[in-house]
Amino acid sequence: MAIAVWPADLPQEVLFDGYKERPAKVLLRTPMDAGPAKVRRRTTAGIRNIQFVVEMTRAQAVIFETWYRDILKDGSLAFEWVHPRTQASCIYRFTDNGYDISLVTGALCHVACYLEILP
């Protein structure tokens, strides 16, 4: 089965406001009885978290919800899309937070996406 892609009918740019990216948590810290904790790298293939907002029309929001529900099986499957900052192709998967939709005007919605970038 081929990996899904971000729909071409949806906006391809994210808003600056609301963009957040966190590095992967790949370190293991072990407290010591005395002195600083020992720290070691647990893995080299960590999952990075990213969240952003995409401005969509109400019709595009319906396309997004259908894609999320039917193609991504309620966000359980991964998809490919360009990284908003680096423009490199990445594989994403929605976190447990999924997404939020808020109305901005009668015609526009903001869709906040909560994703993890897979190694």
Q: What is the pLDDT of residue 1?
A: 66
Q: What angle do CA 5, 89, 15 make, to 5 degrees?
A: 80
CA–CA gap between residue 93 and residue 10 (Å, rounded): 17
Q: Which of 105, 87, 94, 106 is nearest to 65 (CA)?
A: 94
Domain ranges of the chain: 9-118
Q: Which residue has the tokens 């010591």?
A: 32
For all residues of the chain together, what is the average pLDDT? Answer: 92
For the chain, what percent of residues have pLDDT higher than 70? Answer: 98
For domain 9-118, give the CATH number: 2.40.30
Digit-coded pLDDT (tens) for 55-93: 999 999 999 999 999 999 999 999 999 999 999 999 999
